[in-house]
Chain A
Amino acid sequence: MKRAGMPREYEERHGSDASSKHVLPPPGQRIHVLRWLRENLFSNWWNALLTVAAAALIGSILLGLTRWAISEAEWQVIPANLKLLLVGTYPVESLWRVWTCLYVIALLLGFSARLHRGLILRVAVTTGIASIALAFIPFSWATRGWIAGFAVAASAGFGLAALVGRGAWIRRIEAATWILSFPLVLILLNGVGSFLPVIEGRDTWGFLLNLLGAVLGIGLSLPIGILLALGRRSRLPAIRWICTAYIELIRGVPLITLLFMASIMLQLLLPDSIRPDLVVRAMVTITAFSAAYMAENVRGGLQAIPKGQYEAAYAVGLGGFLTTILIILPQALRAVIPAIVGQFIALFKDTTLFGFISILELLSVSRSVLGNLEWRGTIFELYVFIGLIFWVLCYSMSSISRRIERSLGVGER
């Protein structure tokens, strides 16, 4: 009998049936529900009282919430304002551009899913199923078609990958396309030249702005943070001082202050002609802010790498750059995945602060919905909806990160 996890050497040395003869199975760990309840919740009269009281409290809260959600809440506020909440004032006749962006991503996701399997496949299947499920919600038929299109695009990407195989150059093209999809999405959404008219009022795009802020912030703050962390450990004093000063300066100021500075002070300091758009300033600010925190997370990982790793890399002839890229960073980043993903999640939620500098992102759009007489008093409904959107996305990020950790075997060493 070959047991999983039994090292081959062990079996060679002790014979393959040694384990079944001499090793006792672990003691039974089945838990009986009643016994567990008695031991943990009703071990004496005082515990029993606490258990009953706590159950009553939790029960009444849940009951109240359920009654409110079923009979009192005016959920119509969500579908009636859905377009406003999600994309704000983005013109209806140009909405195809938003969908196209989503399809580009779905296509790439499907392609990568077929190419790499594993985690990406899981993510692709989950989002595909979610989009099909969403298409069953009775929106207008056109909207339901658009939503289902996401799954179609993902499947198309999957099929395309199956056709072209898994050669090394395919992977290179795939990586390049993912990187190119960033500017492509931005150009599509914003418009360029006369072919794709530029869409005005970028600062009132609702949840689209939160998403853009998060994606850009995450995509840019990690590489910038890595460079800052390496810079802070540089042997060259000038680079070290600049990076340290930047990190400490940014981390010492609240994000909201930085946003106000970007929105008001820049307006006063820079002449009209070179002053960037408010949304651009907000995105740059949140990226710059997040990068400083990211740098410290990454530095924590760098600190954890033993000196012997550098020495071994130098001894086999790797130079400083290759040592950093091939040996040090992969290990350092792995060690701090939880902290990095934590920063991603914080950054995503921080995009709601855009509202303070009069950018109409999801949270501030919802406030303007409340200003509409027809939807007065629907504040709970809106906040539950907003909370749900953020929770679903943040939880997805955190569960993806947990799976990455597991697949990389962090913590097993």
Chain B
Amino acid sequence: MSVSEETGSGIIVCEDVHKWFGDFHVLRGISLSVRKGEVVVICGPSGSGKSTFIRTINRLEEHQRGRIVVDGVELTHDLRNTETVRRDVGMVFQQFNLFPHLTVQQNITLAPVWVLKMKRSEADAVAVELLERVGILEQADKFPGQLSGGQQQRVCIARALAMSPKIMLFDEPTSALDPEMIKEVLDAMKELARSGMTMIVVTHEMGFAREVADRICFFDFGELIEENRPEEFFARPENERTKLFLSQILH
């Protein structure tokens, strides 16, 4: 499949994306296109630019060369474009980043009420529905500081979903969690993937990748080195660095 064909059908299209932190060349010409409903897992050693890359998709980081088009809107210096894209793209962070001064319910209803101008009663109903979906309805009136890491991360997922995004980005969603809490978060993500959400997930959870990903991308030194369907990726990695990485993380 050629790049131009993919561009036509991709909900996210990145072409030759470059970024520097000072003199450090973090992203070196990433081209990636994601179809609607596709689940893409990005893996790679730390410092390979994978987090930076998904953060350019909702412009928490600005790219300095190349093009990023999300659902037909190109990310440029035009703030209105950025805001449009952010409305359609939900993000889940490694460190949760819930708003500690608001209750769980308020964390979820805040953006729908202020950004989408939803009625409060309507937003509350959405929040209840989402909390039920991620299995923590009974925590609605608590503050984030009173929840376990796994619960906080599920609130974070619910908060992002409240904006009815077309795309969800996950930036190492389980890396800050205790082992016994990883499963509850992965389960919520699997359910989301099955519901047809377009997802880009930066993670080291290879079991999750094998089970739900449509495609796995391997990043190293700011480059997209290899991408393939999971079964191929694990069974027949082509690149030496991919093989090395897989041998390190699977054993």
Within 8 Å by CB of B101, from A306, A311, A317, A331, lies A331
A311 close to B93 (CB less than 8 A): yes
Any A CB within 8 A of the CB of B10: no
Shortest beta-carbon distance from A35 to chain B in Å? 39
0/1 string, A300-342, CB within 8 A of B gives 1:
0000001011011111111100100011001100100000000
A317-B93 in contact given A326-B110, A334-B101, A409-B143 (Cβ < 8 Å): no
Tell me the residues in window 226-279 of chain A with beta carbons closer than 8 Å to chain B beta carbons: none
Shortest beta-carbon distance from A302 to chain B in Å? 14
A-B contacts, CB under 8 A, total: 65
Any A CB within 8 A of the CB of B111: yes
A315 close to B58 (CB less than 8 A): yes
0/1 string, A162-181, CB within 8 A of B gives 1:
00000000000000000000
Any B CB within 8 A of the CB of A413: yes
Q: How many angstroms from the CA of A132 to the CA of B37 in the assembled complex?
A: 71
A413 close to B145 (CB less than 8 A): yes
Q: How many angstroms from the CA of A327 to the CA of B114 in the assembled complex?
A: 12
Closest to B116 in A: A317
User: Chain A, interface size: which category?
Assistant: 20 to 34
Within 8 Å by CB of A308, from B95, B143, B162, lies B95
| B contact residues around A72 at 8 Å (CB) | none
Any A CB within 8 A of the CB of B97: yes
* Most-contacted residue by chain B among A8, A312, A334 (CB, 10 A): A312
B86 close to A315 (CB less than 8 A): yes
Any A CB within 8 A of the CB of B185: no
Any B CB within 8 A of the CB of A93: no
Any B CB within 8 A of the CB of A412: yes
Any A CB within 8 A of the CB of B19: no
Within 8 Å by CB of B111, from A306, A309, A316, lies A316
0/1 string, B98-141, CB within 8 A of A gives 1:
11110000000011001110000000000000000000001000
| B contact residues around A319 at 8 Å (CB) | 79, 83
Within 8 Å by CB of A312, from B87, B99, B148, lies B99
Closest to A315 in B: B91
User: Chain B, interface size: which category?
Assistant: 20 to 34
Overall SS of chain A's interface: helix
Tell me the residues in window 378-413 of chain A with beta carbons closer than 8 Å to chain B beta carbons: 408-409, 412-413
B160 close to A316 (CB less than 8 A): yes
A314 close to B101 (CB less than 8 A): no
Closest to B169 in A: A315
| A contact residues around B101 at 8 Å (CB) | 330-331, 334, 408
A317-B111 in contact given A312-B93, A412-B145, A413-B145 (Cβ < 8 Å): yes
| A contact residues around B90 at 8 Å (CB) | 315-316
Any A CB within 8 A of the CB of B159: yes
Closest to A168 in B: B120
| A contact residues around B93 at 8 Å (CB) | 308, 311-312, 315
Shortest beta-carbon distance from A154 to chain B in Å? 31
Q: How many angstroms from the CA of A319 to the CA of B80 in the assembled complex?
A: 10
0/1 string, A195-219, CB within 8 A of B gives 1:
0000000000000000000000000
Closest to B89 in A: A315
Closest to B138 in A: A8
Q: How many angstroms from the CA of A306 to the CA of B94 in the assembled complex?
A: 14
Shortest beta-carbon distance from B164 to chain A in Å? 11
A308 close to B115 (CB less than 8 A): no
B99 close to A317 (CB less than 8 A): no
Within 8 Å by CB of A318, from B91, B98, B111, B160, lies B111
User: What would 12 A/B residue contacts be, using CB atoms closer than 8 Å?
Assistant: A308-B97, A309-B97, A311-B93, A312-B98, A314-B58, A316-B162, A317-B86, A318-B111, A319-B83, A322-B115, A331-B100, A413-B100
Interface residues of B (CB under 8 A from A): 58, 60, 79, 83, 86-87, 89-91, 93, 95, 97-101, 110-111, 114-116, 138, 143, 145, 148, 159-160, 162-163
6 new A-B contacts, CB < 8 A, other than A8-B138, A316-B86, A326-B114, are: A314-B58, A316-B162, A317-B111, A322-B114, A322-B115, A326-B110
